[in-house]
Structure 1
Amino acid sequence: MNETPLVSQRSALVLLIAGLVAVALGVLIYAQFHNAPGAFIAAIVGFGGAIAIVHKLISTEQ
């Protein structure tokens, strides 16, 4: 039986780093403004931006 991973190690690393950035951004925004919806929206935007940046930083092409 050929067991292939559901997500590659590179994809998992990109998602992990983006998730950490999103959590940090959400916590910092909430600590500053005490606005949960605003912090959630900032975290989502940060997650999307971090995925794009980390994807380019951890490029497999030379």
Structure 2
Amino acid sequence: MVRQIGLCAVSHIYRERNAVADCLAKWSHNIDLGLCVLDAAPSWIGALLVDDLLGVHRTRWVGLASG
């Protein structure tokens, strides 16, 4: 798809910087397969939307590898 678009940039964003996408991704595991279109943001995601818009920082916890 990126090739079809032409000029396109792709970058990784940690879930702590995009809590809305992370929450929606987790929520999607509980719905049927197929296309799901949301006409508006679900009420349960409102606080996360505000936090993401304001750039609220969340701590990223990284586990230590045991070896």
TM-score range, shorter chain: 0.3 to 0.5
- Structure with larger RCO (C-alpha < 8 A, sep 6+): 2
Choose between structure 1 and 2: higher helix proportion: 1
Q: Is the radius of gyration larger for structure 1 or structure 2?
A: 2
